[in-house]
Amino acid sequence: MTHASSRIKALRSVSLQVPDLTLALKFFHDVWNLYSVSQIDGKVFLAGSGNDAFLISLCERPGPAKVVDVTLRAHDLKNLDEIKASLPENNGKLLKDTHPVNEPGLGQAITVCDADGRIFKIIHGDQPRAFDPALESNEKLKDIPIRLAHTVLNSDKVDDSQKFMENVFDFCLSDRTKIMAFMRCNDDHHSIAFGDTDNNALNHIAFLMPDLESVMRGGGRLKDNGYPIAWGPGRHGPGNNAFNYFVGPFDLVVEYTSEVQQIDDSYKARYPKDWQWPAGRTDHWGISAPPSDDLKRAQKLIGFINQ
Ligand SMILES: [Fe+2]
């Protein structure tokens, strides 16, 4: 076991602003199968079956959905100071200095952004979610997302975005394809990836499911609820993870994934020439059609609140 990042332990959660909280909650709880729900100050927090205090937070504002922040968990409180110190020379900005967090799990955090307005909250000392014995015996457990697997962010300057993650958060590159830079902070092949595009929006949020079966059953459950699979089922190249993608409410793109490749510091990054599919293929299996036009459209729409 190695920690690829000396500063960041894991991707924790994503906070979203949505125009219809009731619809968002209905989707994430009843359909997407996030588990516990709590509310503080008008914000709603949804957890998975793992011990992160929550995976998604929702607040209601009129207008298009936006990303409020992507939250990363630091190893130590001193990492927050190291991150702050590294911002100026990496064109980053401190949006909020160290403060106590009034959200499930509590802890202390700073909020920062990169030169393109991607907002990251860096948290330390958040408490794990209390063990829920009801979950242990719950048949539904097999279909509940465990934790976030990764978040993909668009970038019109992927090399710069990669450098920011390396210099500020001590992430490292796992693989670089023609269209994406996959970056890791722990044993997961990637926790953040940057997609080469003409904007800096959210591309998608991926949730780790217990196994391949639950990714597949999730495909049926979403379809039954009016959200057909927009890409999948398939198995990615970089990360070797199984996937199903969906366009949720407000054009929010979400992915069920499982079996994410676990790697350590002996892993050798590969580059676009190494990652090429045969004609007509977009994944290992070749079952699914390529990503739908609707998916590609939605993957460019949701910006950060300050963009
Ligand atoms: Fe993904």
Number of domains present in the structure of the chain: 2
Q: Does residue 163 sit within a domain?
A: yes
Query: How close is the Cα of 150 to the center of ligand 1, in Å?
Result: 7
263 and 178 assigned to the same domain: yes
Q: Is residue 223 part of a domain?
A: yes
pTM for the full predicted model: 0.97
In a domain, residue 1? The reply is: no
- Residue (of 211, 289, 207) closest to 252 by Cα position: 207
Gap from CA of 236 to ligand 1 centroid (Å): 8
| Residue 135 belongs to a domain | no
Examine the pLDDT at 1 and tell me if it is beyond 60: no
At 26-40, the pLDDT tens digits run 999 999 999 878 999
CA of 97 relative to ligand 1 center, distance in Å:
31
Are 125 and 152 in a shared domain? no
Residue 283 CA, ligand 1 centroid: distance in Å: 12
How close is the Cα of 281 to the center of ligand 1, in Å? 17
Ligand 1 centroid–CA 241 distance in Å is 9
198/97 same-domain check:
no
Given a cut of 90, whether residue 128 has pLDDT beyond it is yes
User: How confident is the model at residue 35, as a pLDDT?
Assistant: 86
pLDDT at 135: 74
Which is nearest to 49 in space by CA: 65, 36, 64? 36
Q: Based on the fold, state whether residues 151 and 246 are members of the same structural domain.
A: yes
| Segment 162-188 mean pLDDT | 98
126 and 153 in a single domain? The answer is no
pLDDT digits (tens, 9 = 90+) for 84-122: 999 999 999 999 999 999 999 999 999 999 999 999 999
Looking at the domain assignment, is residue 56 inside a domain?
yes
Q: Are residues 126 and 151 in the same domain?
A: no
Distance 62 CA to ligand 1 centre (A): 28
pLDDT in tens, 224-252: 999 999 999 999 999 999 999 999 999 99
- 116 in the same domain as 154: no
Phi, psi (rounded to 5 degrees) for 143: -120, 15
Give ∠ CA 242-247-10 in degrees, rounded to 5: 55
* Residue 111 sits in the same domain as residue 242: no
Q: How far is the CA of 289 from the centre of ligand 1 (A)?
A: 16
Q: Which domain holds residue 152?
A: 143-298
Q: Which of 130, 164, 183 is the last residue of a domain?
A: 130
Q: Which of 103, 130, 157 marks a domain boundary?
A: 130
The average pLDDT across 57-71 equals: 98
* Residue 307 resides in a domain: no
Last residue of a domain, one of 70, 101, 130: 130
**Cα–Cα distance for residue pair 223/229, rounded to 1 Å:** 7
Whether residue 126 is found in the same domain as residue 159: no
Answer whether 72's CB lies under 8 Å from 111's CB: no
Q: Are residues 219 and 258 in the same domain?
A: yes
CA 152 to ligand 1 centroid distance, Å: 6
Mean pLDDT of the chain, nearest integer: 96
Per-residue confidence (pLDDT) for residue 120, from 0 to 100: 98
pLDDT of residue 169: 98
Report how far ligand 1's centroid is from the alpha carbon of 22 (Å).
26
Within a domain: 305:
no
Residues 86, 119 within the same domain:
yes
d(CA 188, CA 40): 31
Task: Looking at the structure, tell me whether residues 226 and 293 fall in a common domain.
Answer: yes
Q: How far is the CA of 193 from the centre of ligand 1 (A)?
A: 8
What is the whole-number distance in angstroms between the Cα of residue 99 and the centre of ligand 1? 31
In the reported structure, the alpha carbon of residue 123 is separated from the centroid of ligand 1 by a whole-number distance in angstroms of 23
Q: How far is the CA of 23 from the centre of ligand 1 (A)?
A: 23
Domain membership of residue 306 (yes or no) is no
Query: How far apart are the CA of 100 and the centre of ligand 1, in A?
Result: 31
Instruction: Give yes or no for a contact between 165 and 171, defined as CB atoms under 8 angstroms apart.
Output: yes
Please give the pLDDT value at position 249. 98
Q: Give me ligand 1 centre to Cα 18, in Å.
A: 21
Cα end-to-end span (Å), the chain: 37
CATH at residue 102:
3.10.180.10
Span from the CA of 151 to the centroid of ligand 1 (angstroms): 7
